[in-house]
Amino acid sequence: MTKQPDIAHYAVSVVGKDRTGIVAGISEVLFRLGCNIADSSCTMLAGEFAMILIVSHPRPFSKGRLHDDLKPVCDSLGMSLAVRTLHADEIARQETDADICMISVYGADQPGIVYRVTRELAAIGVNIMDLNTKLIGTPEEPVYVMMLDAAIPEGQTPEGVEALLGDLKKELNVEIGVRLVTPVSL
């Protein structure tokens, strides 16, 4: 029986003004160190770029080494850097048996859309797995778009969740759609 290597896991966050080459620069350092990128999310928000990566590396390896090797690249790109060691209970895959839905919200931009919709979802036990918002349209007629991937609790249906959001839809004067995301087996 082969012994599995002891693996260290880290959360790496990088934030700063968007520019070409950020992902390439960070991923090159991780590749040269022999790190594996397990999960990642990168996005541009109003000219700022943010990325969070969950990386692993066989021990012995240290958070300090990871930080020290990433820091010069981040500095050259004008990015801030944070590295956090993850503990065993933080690295377990968080798969769900629940139905996954995509929830879309479209409407005139106004304060409180994210809060009001997510408060209603939390009240019925919906777990938000991913949330993205964008402001589109024109300065004269801005349109707010919010997309959520969410796990709905047992006993709920996409149609039921959408119906529960009906009053909020009218109150905020937005369109809200909920549809099941069909899982794909590889």
Residue 96 banded pLDDT, cuts 50, 70, 90: low
**Are 54 and 40 contacting, i.e. CB atoms less than 8 angstroms apart?**
yes
Residue spans of alpha helices (H) in the chain? 22-33, 63-77, 88-91, 113-123, 158-164, 166-172
Fold of 7-91: Alpha-Beta Plaits (3.30.70)
DSSP 128: E
- Give residue limits of the domains in the chain: 7-91, 99-180
In the sheet where 142-152 sits, what is the strand order?
127-137, 142-152, 99-108, 174-180
Hey, is 139 helix, strand or coil? coil
Q: Kindly indicate whether the domain formed by 99-180 is annotated with CATH number 3.60.130.10.
A: no
- State the pTM of this model: 0.73
Q: How far is CA 141 from the centre of its chain?
A: 28
The per-residue pLDDT for range 11-65, each reduced to its tens digit, is 999 999 999 999 999 999 999 999 999 889 999 888 999 999 999 999 899 999 9
Percentage of the chain beyond pLDDT 90 is 76
- Do 7-91 and 99-180 come out as alike in CATH topology? yes
